[in-house]
Amino acid sequence: MKVQINLQSSYCHQTAQRGFTLIELMVVLAIIAGMAALIVPNLMDSADEGKSTSAKVDVSTIAQALDRYKLDNQTYPSTEQGLQALVERPTTGNSVPNWKQTIKKLPNDPWGRPYQYLNPGIKNEVDVMSFGADGATGGEGKNADIGSWQ
């Protein structure tokens, strides 16, 4: 009586179940890297757009507070008094007997810098502005100035 054992088919069956090859793993990593290269820049642009939108909302809120200040005092705060005149009674410049706090706290722009104020303004009677991501006048895209004249 002869017994035959088929060792070859048993060996092949075991190696087929071992896992992924290095080539397969490299292909998957290349696909993931390619997708990340396409997605990450779009996410960065969204963050910049969000900061610009936040700055526009802040500028609008400050401009409205300045208008309420003018209704109470018949004039806007001077450049010297600045936006701080919206939070606490000015101690310099013209007296303001009807002063009322028109904003609880002055926000910084989304890039961490204080908003700028000019009276008289360059583009309007008064200007409130942020100089954008770069903190310098002018610029385009995320570095563009955001002001009450927009």
List per-block mean pLDDT (blocks of 10 residues) for the chain, which spans 150 residues: 58 62 86 82 70 88 92 90 91 82 91 91 88 82 83
Residue 5: strand, helix, or coil? coil
Quick one: pLDDT at residue 124? 83
For the domain covering 53-147, report its CATH number: 3.30.700.10
Quick one: pLDDT at residue 42? 67
DSSP H helical ranges for 16-137: 22-73
Quick one: pLDDT at residue 1? 58
Q: Are 68 and 104 in contact (CB under 8 A)?
A: no
Quick one: pLDDT at residue 63? 92
Quick one: pLDDT at residue 99? 87
Cα separation, 109 vs 30, in Å, equals 39
